Structure 1
Amino acid sequence: MPASRFRSLSLLLLTITVVLLGCSAESARVPTPSSELKVLDFTVLHTNDNHGKFWRNRHGEMGMAARKTLIDRIRSEVEAEGGKVLLLSAGDINTGVPESDIQQAKPDFVGMNMIGYDAMTLGNHEFDNPLNVLLEQEKWANFPFLSANIYYKASEQLVFKPWLRKELDGVRIGILGLTTEDTQALVNSDYVSDILFMNAVDAARTWVPELKRDNKMDIVIALTHIGHYPNARHGENAPGDVTLAKEVDGIDIIVGGHSQNKLERPDIKNSTYILQAWEWGKYVGRADFKYYYMDNFDGKGHRKGVLKMVNYRLIPVNLKRPEIVNGRQVWVNIEKEIPEDQGVLDALKPYHDKAQDMLMKKVGSLDKALSGERNLVRSEPTAIGNLLASAQREKAGADLAVVNGGGIRTGLPAGEITEKDVLKVQPFGNMVCYVEMKGHELKRYIEDIASIQPVSGGFAQFANVKLTMNGDKLTRLDIGGKPVQKDKVYRLAINEFSAGGGDKWPVIDNNPTFVNTGYTDAVVLRGYIKKHSPLKASDYQPRKGDIVR
């Protein structure tokens, strides 16, 4: 070791020793104190927002079989050097891939069991199914579901375990689960009618001191699904990890999800390390820590220590980039390829194969691809939004239609469209509904939803509508090319999620004219594509000036 590095390390250890020895005179009363400086080496591995991606994609990227190989390698490496490993998921296992969705994410939990997760927190998409489905998933898992801010309304009892205690070489680590309170507005209201999502930051203010003071945890990890918003600027979203770190003392590490950020370095706020590993199992986050401590306690059983991160990186799981080789585009690994674990492949292949025959049936065709990128459908009028709204408008026999941008999960490819393509666009199984309003009522409603700011899942996509907003005020509304008449009755097609107040839209499913058609949005889209194929993308492209915000 170079002399300069040796001196730096010696100085660090001396500083830590002085800090720890000066902590509390009460420690002398403990019967068997030790003055020896100790260190725990431990590694936190983490993923988030899996969204049904249990199998590799068509380029051979991601998948739980390769993830298993990678994590096993890291475990072996860390444990061979005397360290310990925690493997955590920050939620949203459900929703996104038809092969998973139609099997209620069973293959994802089978894979997670085989990989050896220690815990997961509940994401909002865990509530895309009725609660009884989620409780069944909890039984499938060999690890606890954590959330300290979800309660039954009737009994005021927690629905899930709030936190988990782990001991690593005698060091006590508390892992606290937190779920975004926005879940109440992000899922079908019928599925969460019996439960209440409390403010996550407020919940942490209660639980973190309890973990530190009463349960004597040396290290507290918040395992969250509340989102990372730089500088705590969360906009219309509920407060996220940065707010949590700034406002709640005592959290050492936050392992997060929900906003699907690619944090290539930790965001450190209030001495708290905030981590997030993007989405879909594209990466496994690896954070290596050293915890320096004196193995003695004060009179109340508390121990003082210093936590230091020594290494952090996001490790790609067979991610590739396109390159041109001999005039052809090929996909090349950005890092050395990770072999897939054969045991995981054998366990998950039956689930993968089971869905293929149904999902690969042809529905129709499209001349040019329609993008469904998240940043587009939540920020501007899009062709895919117009297409989905048009399908629902036709099915409901409506004058106009609206869909929430957050319900559009991807686009449609050029060429043949399959059942799988349709289900990937609209995986939530929302029912298509309609409601009738007079022109003056419709104007107020459209004004409310059209004023929702970009980037929100509540950003509205329309069909058969032209409108102009001046700030939060609606100054023009045309339906079918004609100005709205205040006393004329109009029929609006809308999904049940939005009609029930999802994404903080006004509640209209209590209107006496409200009708649920009994058809899911994916079924309606499938029927529309079959009827109108071959589709032309140009027929759905928004025209400049039609929607002005």
Structure 2
Amino acid sequence: MKKKFLIILSVTLILFMQINAKHIEANSAIVDESTVKLRILETTDIHSYLLDYNYEKKKKTIEFGYNRVASLIVQAKKEQRNTLLFDVGDVIKGSPLAEYVASSPMFYSTDIHPAYKSMNLMGYDAATVGNHEFNFGLDFLLNTLMGADFPYTNANIYVDDRNGYEQDDIHFFQPYLLLDKMVVTEKGKMENLKVGVIGLITPITQEWDKEHFKDKLIIKNMRKTAEEIIPQMKKEGADLIIALVHAGLYSDQDYWPKSGNNVRDISKVEGIDVILYGHSHGIFPVKGEKGPKGVNHEKGLINGKPAVQAGNWGNHLGIIDLTLRKKKGKWVIADSKSMAKPIIRIIKKKKISIVSPMPQIEYILSRYQHDTLEYMNSKDLLNHLD
């Protein structure tokens, strides 16, 4: 009788353990199926066109201006609770306002650049430099960047130590960032997403600004640099890696070698998940347009990677909407949608504004705009702007 009881007890325990194991496995599956909607926003090539003002025509415009795209940023953030915002370079050079700032001694040492006074309102997560950041020299650049409330990253600009050995070369900027982003899942739970951010720039910058680079800085191949650094970012726990690339879809025509120094090549780097790019003042994706092999305008993909390019001067906001799912403890991109959202629409060949300028930025910049217009009256600027 006692033996029979022990057998029954043993069978009962085995069944209980099997049921419990299945319950634990089911719960694990539920945890692993966490879904997060993440919106990634991009500005690029603002060139200090901070206001909706056409300096050449000397009148306001609805076609560009950071104060207008800033309103799109506010809207885009309201539409999605999980957002990241990045800039992809060419902020501090290009407009008459930028020239005025660079010519004024007070900005060199005491004041914050009006571009960063504006951008600091928007809550950027990170940024990278563009080629025009170097036009006014390294001292001006470094002093100006101190006014940004967000970090900068670039991986392929190095200090030129002139010793002939690449192995000991030191990065000029922080080569990558790891951002801890708290996100809310579709079921309302909090999750920590470790977002890796790497910045890259077209090497032709070194030639265009040789007077500022000579014996000071060198720029290496973008793809080779990324392939060296991405594994380290993964090793340090990056769940999602975003490349901020100040280079076009194609390599700059005057630069050699072209291989490895364009967005299409960067899209082939294993481990890069998302690409935000600029430099060429183009727009990606473009509805109805067909690209070369690997470039899908309809889906906003470049060699299968979600990508966006947001024009220039604040005329578009880059938006990538990701659906992330956790599978076996790792986040993967289940779906994506990319778009370059314009600040105007064209209806019956007429340009219609779809967004109002952000009043806070207009208020902050009113004094600088007044001084810029006075400065323009004393200088022949318009023939010397990029």
Deviation at 1:161, TM superposition (A): 1.4
Q: Deviations over 1:342-376 (max 9, x none)?
A: 21111111111111123135xxxxxxxxxxxxxxx
Q: Give the corresponding residue for 1:203.
A: 225
Contact in 2 for aligned 1:46/1:90 (Cα 8 Å): yes
Rounded to whole Å, the distance in 1 between the matches of 2:363 and 2:348 is 29
Work out which of the two has the higher radius of gyration on C-alpha atoms and give 1 or 2.
Answer: 1
Give TM-score, length-normalised by structure 2. 0.75
Percent identity between the aligned chains?
A: 25
Q: Give the corresponding residue for 2:51.
A: 55
In structure 1, runs of 5+ residues without a counterpart are 1-32, 298-302, 324-330, 362-418, 429-549
Which amino acid in 2 is paired with 1:186?
W
Q: Give the corresponding residue for 2:267.
A: 245
Q: Give the corresponding residue for 2:170.
A: 157
Q: Give the corresponding residue for 1:115.
A: 122
Q: Give the corresponding residue for 2:87.
A: 89
Residues 127-138 of structure 1 correspond to what in structure 2 (within 5 A)? Answer: 127-138=134-145
Aligned partner (choices 275, 299, 319) of residue 254 of structure 1: 275
Rounded to whole Å, the distance in 1 between the matches of 2:48 and 2:177 is 25
Q: Give the corresponding residue for 2:29.
A: 35
Q: Give the corresponding residue for 2:321.
A: 288
Higher-RCO chain (CA-CA 8 Å, sequence separation at least 6): 2
Contact in 2 for aligned 1:49/1:257 (Cα 8 Å): yes
Which amino acid in 1 is paired with 2:325?
Y
Contact in 2 for aligned 1:129/1:191 (Cα 8 Å): no
Task: Note closer, same or farther for the CA distance 1:292–1:321 as it changes in structure 2 (3 Å cut).
Answer: same
Deviation at 1:162, TM superposition (A): 1.4
Secondary structure at 1:115 match in 2:
coil
In structure 2, runs of 5+ residues without a counterpart are 1-26, 54-59, 108-112, 162-167, 184-191, 287-296
Q: Give the corresponding residue for 1:478.
A: none
Deviation at 1:318, TM superposition (A): 4.0
Rounded to whole Å, the distance in 2 between the matches of 1:350 and 1:192 is 37
Deviation at 1:110, TM superposition (A): 1.4
Rounded to whole Å, the distance in 2 between the matches of 1:52 and 1:87 is 18
Task: Note closer, same or farther for the CA distance 1:190–1:211 as it changes in structure 2 (3 Å cut).
Answer: closer
Task: Note closer, same or farther for the CA distance 1:320–1:267 as it changes in structure 2 (3 Å cut).
Answer: closer
Secondary structure at 2:362 match in 1:
helix
Which amino acid in 1 is paired with 2:64?
M
Task: Note closer, same or farther for the CA distance 1:55–1:320 as it changes in structure 2 (3 Å cut).
Answer: farther
1:46 aligns with 2:42: yes
Contact in 2 for aligned 1:285/1:314 (Cα 8 Å): yes
Contact in 2 for aligned 1:41/1:291 (Cα 8 Å): yes
Contact in 2 for aligned 1:61/1:320 (Cα 8 Å): no
Contact in 2 for aligned 1:252/1:271 (Cα 8 Å): no
Deviation at 1:425, TM superposition (A): 2.1
Rounded to whole Å, the distance in 1 between the matches of 2:267 and 2:341 is 25
Contact in 1 for aligned 2:308/2:340 (Cα 8 Å): no
Which amino acid in 2 is paired with 1:305?
V
Q: Give the corresponding residue for 2:246.
A: 225
1:355 aligns with 2:372: yes
Contact in 2 for aligned 1:46/1:284 (Cα 8 Å): yes
Task: Note closer, same or farther for the CA distance 1:321–1:185 as it changes in structure 2 (3 Å cut).
Answer: farther
Runs (4+) off by over 3 Å: 190-193, 233-238, 318-323
Rounded to whole Å, the distance in 1 between the matches of 2:78 and 2:126 is 20
Deviation at 1:322, TM superposition (A): 9.6
Residues 485-500 of structure 1 correspond to what in structure 2 (within 5 A)? Answer: none
Deviation at 1:103, TM superposition (A): 0.5
Which amino acid in 2 is paired with 1:317?
I
Q: Deviations over 1:431-483 (max 9, x none)?
A: xxxxxxxxxxxxxxxxxxxxxxxxxxxxxxxxxxxxxxxxxxxxxxxxxxxxx
Which amino acid in 1 is paired with 2:208?
L
Aligned partner (choices 313, 334, 338) of residue 339 of structure 2: 313
Aligned partner (choices 95, 98, 106) of residue 96 of structure 2: 98
Contact in 2 for aligned 1:249/1:270 (Cα 8 Å): no
Rounded to whole Å, the distance in 1 between the matches of 2:357 and 2:305 is 35
Secondary structure at 2:68 match in 1:
helix
Secondary structure at 1:314 match in 2:
strand
Rounded to whole Å, the distance in 1 between the matches of 2:214 and 2:276 is 25
Task: Note closer, same or farther for the CA distance 1:355–1:321 as it changes in structure 2 (3 Å cut).
Answer: farther
Task: Note closer, same or farther for the CA distance 1:172–1:34 as it changes in structure 2 (3 Å cut).
Answer: farther
Rounded to whole Å, the distance in 2 between the matches of 1:110 and 1:322 is 37
Deviation at 1:192, TM superposition (A): 4.8
Contact in 1 for aligned 2:300/2:339 (Cα 8 Å): no
Contact in 2 for aligned 1:282/1:319 (Cα 8 Å): no
Which amino acid in 2 is paired with 1:98?
P
Residues 310-389 of structure 1 correspond to what in structure 2 (within 5 A)? Answer: 311-318=337-344, 332-333=351-352, 336=354, 338-361=355-378
Q: Give the corresponding residue for 2:165.
A: none
Task: Note closer, same or farther for the CA distance 1:341–1:190 as it changes in structure 2 (3 Å cut).
Answer: closer
Rounded to whole Å, the distance in 2 between the matches of 1:312 and 1:240 is 19
Rounded to whole Å, the distance in 1 between the matches of 2:95 and 2:212 is 23
Task: Note closer, same or farther for the CA distance 1:62–1:40 as it changes in structure 2 (3 Å cut).
Answer: same
Q: Give the corresponding residue for 1:518.
A: none
Rounded to whole Å, the distance in 2 between the matches of 1:243 and 1:118 is 25
Rounded to whole Å, the distance in 2 between the matches of 1:235 and 1:359 is 33
Contact in 1 for aligned 2:42/2:318 (Cα 8 Å): yes
Contact in 2 for aligned 1:127/1:192 (Cα 8 Å): no
Deviation at 1:173, TM superposition (A): 1.3
Q: Give the corresponding residue for 1:77.
A: 79
Contact in 1 for aligned 2:197/2:243 (Cα 8 Å): yes
Task: Note closer, same or farther for the CA distance 1:124–1:77 as it changes in structure 2 (3 Å cut).
Answer: same
Rounded to whole Å, the distance in 2 between the matches of 1:259 and 1:353 is 30
Rounded to whole Å, the distance in 1 between the matches of 2:36 and 2:334 is 9
Number of residue pairs the alignment of both structures matches: 312
Rounded to whole Å, the distance in 2 between the matches of 1:425 and 1:67 is 26
Which amino acid in 2 is paired with 1:220?
I
Task: Note closer, same or farther for the CA distance 1:91–1:190 as it changes in structure 2 (3 Å cut).
Answer: closer
Rounded to whole Å, the distance in 1 between the matches of 2:367 and 2:279 is 29
Deviation at 1:319, TM superposition (A): 6.3
Rounded to whole Å, the distance in 1 between the matches of 2:357 and 2:174 is 33
Contact in 1 for aligned 2:46/2:66 (Cα 8 Å): no
Contact in 1 for aligned 2:130/2:279 (Cα 8 Å): yes
Rounded to whole Å, the distance in 2 between the matches of 1:39 and 1:249 is 23
Deviation at 1:148, TM superposition (A): 0.7
